[in-house]
Amino acid sequence: MDKKDIPYLAALLAVALLGNGCSQGLLQEQTREGVIEYALTFPDYDPNGLMAGMLPERTTLTFSHGRELAELSAGMGVFRTSIITDNDRKEMRYHLSVLNKKIVSHLERRDMPALNKEEPALTILNTNEMDTIAGYPCRKAIAIYGSIDMPEIELYYTDRIGLNDPNWYGPFNAIPGVLLRYEMVQYGMRMRLEAVAVRPGPVDEAKFADKGGYARVSPEALHTELEQVLSTFSL
C-alpha cells in the first residue's frame, strides 16, 4: 500500500464508523441515573393572590434504571406526595401525607383510570420543532383535547434520559421520551412544569423503598382523598 493512501483510508474508516453506529452510540449516550428539578407555575392563579404562598414552586423526579420517584410539597409542607413508579413492571406506589394522615395506594396499569378520571380524550401531534431544555435536546409535540374548553398543550420531551416508557401511567402515555416542559390538569388545577436542572449521578436505592407509617388504601379511596384535598387550592 502506498503511504499516500493511508490518510484517504483513515477518512473512509471514520465515515464508516459514524454510519454504523459506533460513534453514534456516543452521540446518543443516555443519562441513566440522576435527579430532574422542575419549576412549577399555575397559569390560572394570580401570583400575588391569596393562594400564591400555598402553591409549590418546585418538584423533583429522581430516576434510576426504569424507576422514578416524584416528590412534591405544598401548603407549607401540610400536603406532600411521593410517587414511586416501576416502569418495567408498570407499578406505582402513591404516598399521600396531609397533616397527620398518611395513606399509600398500590396501583397497576389497570388502576390508572381511577387516578385519571378527569382526563378527557386527547390526540398527540408530533412536530419537527426542537428546543434545548436544561441542557437536553427536546422534540416538540402538541396535545389536542377532545373537550372544546381545553386548550392545546405543548409537550417537549427528550430521548437522552434512559427511562423506558416513562409516561405509561399518565395522559401523555404516547410520548416516548421524558417530558421536560409540559402542562397538565389535575382536579381542576392547571400546572406548568419546566425542567430547570438535570443532575446525573448515582441514586440511593433506598429512595425507591416503601415509606413506613402509611395506611394502605384502594385506588378509589386515594382518588377521593386527592379530590378533596386539591379542591381546597381551587378556592
Tell me: pLDDT of 140 over 60: yes
CA distance linking residue 149 with residue 15, whole number of Å: 52
Lowest mean pLDDT among 8-17, 90-99, 101-110, 153-162: 8-17
| pLDDT of res. 197 | 97
The average pLDDT across 5-28 equals 39
Least confident of 34-48, 108-122, 131-145, 172-186: 108-122
Quote the CA–CA distance of 215 and 78 in Å, as a whole number.
18
Tell me which of 65 and 232 has the higher pLDDT.
Answer: 65
So what's the pLDDT on residue 11?
39
What is the average per-residue pLDDT within 202-215?
93
pLDDT above 70: residue 41 = yes
C-alpha to C-alpha distance for 65 and 163, rounded to whole angstroms: 7
CATH code 2.50.20 for 35-234: yes
Q: How confident is the model at residue 54 (pLDDT cuts 50, 70, 90)?
A: confident
Residue 33: pLDDT over 70: yes
The pLDDT mean for the chain works out to: 83
192 neighbors 42 (Cβ within 8 angstroms): yes
Helix (H) or strand (E) holding 115: helix 112-115
SS3 sequence of 39-72: EEECCCCCCCCCCHHHCCCEEEEEEECCEEEEEE
Q: How confident is the model at residue 234 (pLDDT cuts 50, 70, 90)?
A: low
Name the band, by pLDDT with cuts 50, 70 and 90, for residue 51: low
94 forms beta bridges with 83, 105
pTM reported for the whole predicted model: 0.82
Cβ of 146: how many Cβ atoms within 10 Å?
Answer: 9
Domain boundaries, the chain: 35-234
